[in-house]
Amino acid sequence: MLRIVVGMGSCGVAAGAGRVKEALERAGAKPGITGCVGACYLEPIVDLYEGAELKRRLVKVAPEDGPAIAAAAKSGDLAGVEKLAISAEDEEFLSRQTRIALRHCGVIDPESLDAYRAADGYKALEKVLGMTPEAVIEEIKVSGLAGRGGAGFPTWFKWNAARNAKGDEKYLICNADEGDPGAFMDRAVIESDPHSLIEGMLIAAYAIGAKEAFVYVRAEYPLAIVRLEKALGDARAAGILGQNVLGSGFSCDIRIKAGAGAFVCGEETALIESLEGSRGMPRLKPPFPAEKGYLNKPSNINNVETFANVAWIILNGGAKFAAMGTENSKGTKVFALTGKIRRGGLVEIPMGLTLREVIFGIGGGIRDGKRFKAVQMGGPSGGCIPESLLDTRIDYRELGATGAIMGSGGMVVMDETTCMVNMAKFFLDFTARESCGKCVHCRIGTRRLHEILTRITEGRGKEGDVELLEELCRGIKDGALCGLGQTAPNPVLTTIRYFRDEYDAHIRERRCPAGECAALRKFKIDPAKCKGCGACARKCPVKAIAGEPKKPYAIDPAKCIGCGSCEAACRFGAVAKA
């Protein structure tokens, strides 16, 4: 009899995995659960195991498939479910990855301590408790692990600074705030493998001498919080967490702080302010958190993905991790591959692969037969990289040279229908809203950038606007207090740098080349294709379309507001952008 496992990460649940699980139970099966394997575009996913061997991965499963899957698992005859089996092409999405941070995601039961221990869980912690803290830090130094939250700062250096800071009371903090639009790496790790986070944090706490640790996670991640709470409770009950960890004499406990979802709290000092109960606003640095952090005590902050790598490094050796990647960027990196991509989800790859290899190799290229235009790296703090730079390697320095950043790992793919001016406006709207308001350059400057971009996309741009945008961007980058303001201009600067022609078209020709900006968009009807059905006229909200039944209709360009309702209503392809 085969074992049935249902993917129950947030993406699977949103796609209907809960209903699939219920259908399997009604059919007499007793399915287990796992988290997100990363192939979010194929959810709901059901895996069939014989012992530890995966016999078949079934994708896009519906509740009505439950009886057939239950019968196949009972008999071992998989012929009845072969139509649901993952294709060879989709299998490549996973097989071409190198999974370290995601090594257990979608494989083990995230709610079972026994399942984690069966996968060598907490063996790294046991090993560390027999080492000196200095030796642990040295192993992390050898690995070349850099912070995966965005800045890419050497992890060992932060640990060592906290270790050597004066004071007996020290704190460890995990930044699980993850506010970038399109990013969900940290959420997936916590939902799918919470014990790997706990183990990594305990190793870090031992290394720096912290007895108390916090996971600062946004409240919009309810499933992640529930599973992490259970994992913490199970670890305490097993003597892995709390007083006298595994009988070693080392003590450390971990608590959860649910944040309110402010993007600025991804900045470490703003996070600390929020953790202390104050409004999340960044502090001046120096002093750095390693000297004066939480409650003005020495503190260390890393993000979820950074901690998820730690146990693997300790068990396998820092040199093995450092053997992957490039000279400047070691190991692997997880990306959330989203946007106009055929195969979207979580991707973990060795540093050094090119953007082309990820987007067109693992991701399968652009969907719907469209042409690639750009990829947004680093979220609102990042930049847009054009097609001409697709062979850029994924490396902190090489990405930085393009004007983008690695960031926490958001990778939003755009096709020819995306207006780059409008894209810059979208991200500036986000950063302007999320600015804490502490410094003038960010509070006022981002709003001025957004106002100019809005004017351009509405056909009210004027000569000199691009130069004004660039001047404002330089001022904000130089004067902003924290990383939110300092990097907020990146989407504007990179779109001007690589897509200046689109800005010029908006300003000088009152035209949006991508046809996305409604104020600059007009439609026309091809009389050779029009059947005279009148569907477009009935949907037009401003009555800009007129005609007689069974004769070609026409659009009055003076009245057209570019909403696109006519194009959506036409079944014959007669309506197109003018």
Mean pLDDT of 205-219: 97
Q: Which of 150-154, 268-272, 417-421, 531-535 has the lowest mean pLDDT?
A: 150-154
Peptide bond into 286 cis (omega under 30): yes
User: Who's near 230: CB < 8 A, 6+ residues apart?
Assistant: 111, 194
What is the reported pTM? Answer: 0.92
| Distance (Å) of CA 175 to CA 159, 179, 214, 274 | 15, 11, 9, 12
Q: Quick one: pLDDT at residue 261?
A: 82
State percent of the chain over pLDDT 90.
90
Answer whether residue 180 shows pLDDT above 90: no
pLDDT of amino acid 563: 87
| pLDDT score at 109 | 98
**Is residue 381's pLDDT more than 90?**
no
Task: Report the sign of the C-alpha dihedral through residues 308, 358, 375, 325, in that order.
Answer: positive
Q: What is the pLDDT of residues 355-375, one digit of tens each?
A: 999 999 999 999 999 999 999
pLDDT tens digits along 492-533: 999 999 999 999 999 999 999 998 998 898 899 999 999 999
Conformation bin of residue 7: beta by default, left when phi > 0, alpha when psi is -120 to 50: beta
Question: What Cα–Cα distance (Å) separates residue 7 from each residue in 46, 57, 103, 112, 385?
Answer: 6, 11, 15, 15, 33
Confidence label for 6 from pLDDT (cuts 50, 70 and 90): very high
Quick: pLDDT tens for 31-45: 999 999 999 999 999
Task: Work out the average pLDDT over 151-171.
Answer: 94
Query: Are the C-beta atoms of residues 221 and 257 closer than 8 Å to each other?
Result: no
User: What pLDDT does 518 receive?
Assistant: 86
Mean pLDDT, the chain, whole residue set: 95
Q: Quote the pLDDT of residue 179.
A: 82
Kindly state the average pLDDT of the residues 445-449.
97
Residue 85: C-alpha distances to residues 52, 90, 106, 365, 387 (Å): 18, 10, 16, 22, 34
Residue among 30, 36, 31 nearest 10 (CA): 36
Q: Is the pLDDT of residue 150 over 80?
A: no
Backbone angles phi, psi at 523, to 5 degrees: -125, 155
Residues in the chain: 578
Residue recorded with tokens 């903090």: 173
Give the alpha-carbon dihedral of 43, 44, 49, 53, to 10 degrees.
Answer: 10
Tell me the pLDDT tens digit for each residue of 257-282: 999 888 899 899 999 999 999 999 99
Position 386 scores a pLDDT of 97
Is 90 exceeded by the pLDDT of residue 552? yes
Alpha carbons 446 and 475: distance in angstroms, whole number: 11
CB atoms within 10 A of CB 538: 11
- Per-residue confidence (pLDDT) for residue 406, from 0 to 100: 87
Confidence check: pLDDT of 159 > 90: yes
Report residue 200 as tokens. Answer: 């990594």
What the block records as the tokens of 442 is 């960010």
Q: List domains and CATH numbers for the chain.
A: 3-95 (3.40.30.10), 113-321 (3.40.50.11540), 332-415 (3.10.20.600), 420-508 (1.20.1440.230), 522-577 (3.30.70.20)
For residue 214 the two structure tokens come to 């916090």
In sequence order, the 6+-apart residues with CB closer than 8 A to the CB of 534 are 547, 549, 553
Question: What pLDDT band is residue 81 in, cutting at 50, 70 and 90?
Answer: very high
What per-residue confidence (pLDDT) applies to 379?
82
The CA-based dihedral angle spanning residues 218, 101, 191, 62, taken in that order and rounded to the nearest 10 degrees: 130
